Amino acid sequence: MADYRPGTPDQAAFLAELLDRRLLIQTSVAGLYGRGADFEEVCGRVGDMVTRAGAPEQPEQLRFPPLLPRRDLESVGYLKTFPHLAGSIFAFEGSEGQAAEQFDRACRHEDWSEFQSMTELVLTPAACYPVYPAIAARGELPAGGVTVDAGSAYVFRHEPSGDPARMQMFHQREIVRIGEPDAVVAWRDVWRDRTTSLLREVGLDAELAVATDPFFGRAGRMLAASQREQELKFEVVVQIAGPEPTAVASFNYHQDHFASVYGIELAGGAEAHTACLGFGVERIALALFRAHGLEIEAWPQEVRGQLWRV
């Protein structure tokens, strides 16, 4: 809890309402919440809305657990660009005596990390990450490349906060495009406009903005400037609990980064490019509750009609 950052008064008030109505369930750690039935219902409907929007593309369905081989996190350079967000998994491999000492310290809530060793797993920081090695393992891409629907996967970012829209463990509804550069960029641009329209149709005041990732350190500031200059990342932002609008969807063009790491090749041997779009499922749900109230039965009929469409 040492790095807990209290939210703004508006964020704290909104969080208190969500907890009081049991839409979110409090834990002892900032940014980690359980979900009540109505909140889960809305999250599911948001995911269904995205599925319907992407159905004409007939994407391949792939699903992965919220764990990633540590080697993949190391290979893509995540620990250089986002070391402050990463979550590693450690486990006990010691003796009986060490196990007893670990238990004693844990009972006193003291540091017992010396008894833990790094495993081959990390927490997945982005739902698209497992897709690239899986596609690379197949060899050369088919003509036209591939589109992969990675579903609504749990991801982890270590950024405890009092803002209910900044959770440490949350769902990304992710779709990935891998193919020729022009086709990948065109796909991303179509989804930018499509997403803004989708969110406006459910009553959200959604706006598109050029954005950057939260890169780490001095080198990260240079990366962010380059990313913004090349317009490699866009976000759709919505007002949730201020003071600034919150990103609820992002569109990232990676150029050849993941393809070069994993050796993903187009038909004919040229290097592929990749892009992904990610919907922050919980953030969109929070935006809906903020815009339309905490009783989903009282939401405008046109909003319910879009979300509860069969």
Q: What is the pLDDT of residues 114-129, one digit of tens each?
A: 999 999 999 999 999 9
Average pLDDT score over residue span 84-111: 97
In this prediction, residue 8 carries a pLDDT of 83
In this prediction, residue 3 carries a pLDDT of 41
261-294 per-position pLDDT tens digit: 999 999 989 999 999 999 999 999 999 999 999 9
In this prediction, residue 6 carries a pLDDT of 60
Provide φ and ψ at 88, rounded to 5°.
Answer: -105, 155
E runs forming strands in the chain: 24-26, 33-35, 60-61, 67-69, 88-92, 116-123, 146-156, 169-179, 207-210, 233-238, 246-255, 273-280
Q: Residues 75, 279, 69, CA angle at the centre, nearest 5°?
A: 25
Average pLDDT score over residue span 192-209: 96
Amino acid at 216: F
Chain-centre distance of CA 104, in angstroms? 36
Which domains are delineated in the chain?
Answer: 9-68+82-87+125-307 (3.30.930.10), 88-123 (no CATH)
Average pLDDT score over residue span 3-24: 85
Q: What percent of the chain has pLDDT over 70?
A: 98
Average pLDDT score over residue span 25-51: 97
**Confidence category of residue 2, pLDDT binned at 50, 70, 90:** very low
Q: What percent of the chain has pLDDT over 90?
A: 87
Average pLDDT score over residue span 178-207: 96
Average pLDDT score over residue span 246-258: 96
DSSP character for 22?
T
- How far apart are alpha carbons 296 and 303 in whole angstroms? 10
| Mean pLDDT estimate for the chain | 94
In this prediction, residue 148 carries a pLDDT of 98
**pLDDT at residue 4 greater than cutoff 70:** no
pTM listed for this prediction: 0.94
Provide φ and ψ at 67, rounded to 5°.
Answer: -120, 145
**Confidence category of residue 310, pLDDT binned at 50, 70, 90:** low
Average pLDDT score over residue span 223-248: 91
In this prediction, residue 228 carries a pLDDT of 87
In this prediction, residue 281 carries a pLDDT of 98
Name all contacts of 38-43 with Cβ < 8 Å and 24+ positions apart. Answer: 38/296, 39/285, 39/289, 41/296, 42/285, 42/288, 42/289, 42/296, 42/307, 43/152, 43/171, 43/281, 43/282, 43/285
| Residues, the chain | 310
Report CA Rg, the chain.
Answer: 21
**Confidence category of residue 1, pLDDT binned at 50, 70, 90:** very low
For the ranges 15-19, 134-138, 239-243, which has the lowest average pLDDT?
239-243
